[in-house]
Copies of this chain bind each other. A is one copy, B any other.
């Protein structure tokens, strides 16, 4: 499994420490999707338009390395792998909700501004 160790970005700002975990083109969306419950890899891929399988799996594995997600492999063939928020990952939920709520606000604002 790819477990490349990201060099921790300098600076002890806690806000930065949190953002480091979420940084990544698709991580926010992935966390949002998983808030509804566990999902299989292929299920996630189909539910996130635009994402490639490569990036999905990279981000999933990074989130597992950060203990935000848990990976469950049924060990069957063909493979059946499920990802779920860990208990720790669920402590991120308020932030994800906040981002979702504010994001909606921001989308509306941009729509009414530019149109």
Contact = CB atoms under 8 A, between A and B. Distances in A.
A29 B11 CA distance: 9
A50 B3 CA distance: 22
How many identical chains are in the complex?
2
Contact of A100 (B15, B67, B106, B109): B15
Contact of A107 (B12, B23, B95, B101): B12
A67 B4 CA distance: 24
A18 B95 contact: no
Interface of A: 1, 3-4, 6, 8-19, 21-23, 25, 28-29, 31-33, 35-36, 47-50, 67, 88, 91-107, 109
A88 B95 CA distance: 18
